[in-house]
Amino acid sequence: MDKKSLTAVARQQLKLAAAASSGRSSQTLVGGHSRALRQTVVALRAGEGLAEHDNAGDATLLVLSGTLSLVVGENSWKGSAGDLLVIPQARHSVEALEDVAFLLTVAK
């Protein structure tokens, strides 16, 4: 059994993102690319984002702090702390509307 504080990990990743030239940071907590399940805390500085990309499988995004926009084509959904967004099976991107940390869960 392994226990992690999402609040503490999010806080740490936000500090790392603030100092990074890319404006982002992440830490995988469960699984990895070779596993069926992967859970990663991602932090983005306000105005930064994740460029459009394809799904690696079923995925959700749980906003831990801040706000973001999940963009799929012409559609977008705003998420703030506590919101769970189901990522559609389509190319998508993420934009940080303010400093944001979220838990990305992917099951392939």
- State the first-to-last Cα distance of the chain, in angstroms, to the nearest integer: 23
**Predicted local distance difference test score (pLDDT) of residue 75:** 94
Low-confidence ranges of the chain (pLDDT < 70): none
- CATH architecture observed for domain 6-107: Sandwich (2.60)
**Predicted local distance difference test score (pLDDT) of residue 60:** 96
**Predicted local distance difference test score (pLDDT) of residue 55:** 83
Looking at residue 82, the DSSP 8-state letter turns out to be T
